[in-house]
Amino acid sequence: MDPNRRRFLRSGLGLAAAAMPSIATRTQFRMGVGTACYMQRAIVQRDLDPTERFTETLSFLAHCRDLGAGGIQASLTSLDESYAARLREEAEKANMYVEVSARLPLDDAGSLDKFERTVRAARVAGASVIRTVMLGGRRYETFESLGEWRDFGKRSWESLVRAEPVLRRHKVRLAIENHKDWRIDEMLSGLDRIQSEAVGVTIDTGNNMSLLEDPLEVARAFAPYAFAVHLKDMGLETYEDGFLLSEVPFGKGCLDLRAIVDTIRAARPDVRFTLEMITRDPLKVPCLKEEYWTTMGRVPGRDLAATLRTAREKGRPLPRIGHLPEPERLRVEEANNLECLEYGRAHLGL
């Protein structure tokens, strides 16, 4: 890790903290909830207008307040500044933080304009962090050739370059999630290349297992750059083409959550931890099939061996919910979220 980059980001964090809403210092140790925790509700309500969904931002804040959560990470249902101001007012009354999820701007003026309006609204809402992803899917499923992967990398960089001046202008930070796309060295290379105090990482504690990286090593590598955290525990199960991967309630997976939390806190004492317990059927990681390796490059064999060994030694049959009736899926989803929140309070100081 480049020590100059670390000092650069830390100085940037100080500048950002000076402009952050006052609620930030009062909620840093209470875990928040992200909208991805309600994937099953999203499936049920996908045909509804965003203003009528469970994840309508004000309604979602109220629900998470009732759960005792410390904050939310969510898209803004409206970019109207009066709506954003109301969100900030409600969050401050509940002593909660707000982090906004948004997509990076594409290569057209309208997309950049919408991104700037989102950044402005996020600022009014009291959010100093916008979480984003480069890739919405999974690297090993999305691209059929190395050329496609390289084109994606080029477009991602161009989009980040367009976004960065907007973020600096409004004093809002961008937290790029490791979203089953970039391995550690690739993500750090991009951060070093942009060299901006406005750009850091949303550490997802489980995603890079799908890219054959150890969760604690991911936390150690990204912690100095962390502007946000998706905290999750992961379960594994072997299958003929590799392993299955699934979020599971805290304490029931194979992650050392205590060590991960302590590692991130040591580097970023003020970072917020947001729950991302996604209730769904397990995902296939076909690391023993040739197609998986199309875009992976030179991954050390020890990484593959270590991941498969973990799956063999710590794996267990993972829960499936796709066959359950809708009310039961929603019940399981909420029970999983509550179990994680309780575990975080009891065992992780969150």
Contact, 144 vs 294, CB < 8 A? yes
pLDDT at 252: 97
Residue 333's φ and ψ, nearest 5 degrees, are -55, -50
Q: Give the count of domains, the chain.
A: 1
Q: Are strands 283-285 and 226-231 parallel, antiparallel or unpaired?
A: unpaired
Per the structure, the complete domain to which residue 155 belongs is given by 3-340
Residue 15: what pLDDT?
A: 42
* pLDDT the model gives residue 4: 38
Whether 348 maps to a domain, the answer reads no
Q: What are the angstrom distances between the C-alpha of 170 and each of 38, 115, 123, 166?
A: 30, 12, 7, 6
Mean of per-residue pLDDT scores for the chain: 92
Q: What is the mean pLDDT of each run of 10 residues along the chain (350 residues)?
A: 50 45 54 98 95 97 98 98 98 97 90 96 96 95 95 95 96 97 96 96 98 98 98 98 98 97 97 98 97 93 96 95 97 98 97
The answer to whether residue 307 sits within a structural domain is yes
* Pairing status of strand 97-101 against strand 129-132: parallel
Whether residue 121 is contained in a domain is answered as: yes
CA separation for the pair 68, 27 (Å, rounded) = 12
Is residue 350 in a domain?
no
Question: Could you tell me if 75 and 47 are in contact, meaning their C-beta atoms sit under 8 angstroms apart?
Answer: no
The pLDDT value recorded for residue 3 is 56
CA 107 to chain centre: 24
What pLDDT score does 82 carry? 97
Residue 172 included in any domain: yes
Whether 347 is in a domain gets the answer no
Question: Residue 24's pLDDT is what?
Answer: 41
The CATH number of the domain where 241 resides is what?
A: 3.20.20.150
pLDDT digits (tens, 9 = 90+) for 292-306: 999 998 899 999 999
Domain assignment present for residue 218? The answer is: yes
Residue 289 backbone phi and psi in degrees, to 5: -105, 145
Asked if the structure places residue 56 within a domain, the reply is yes
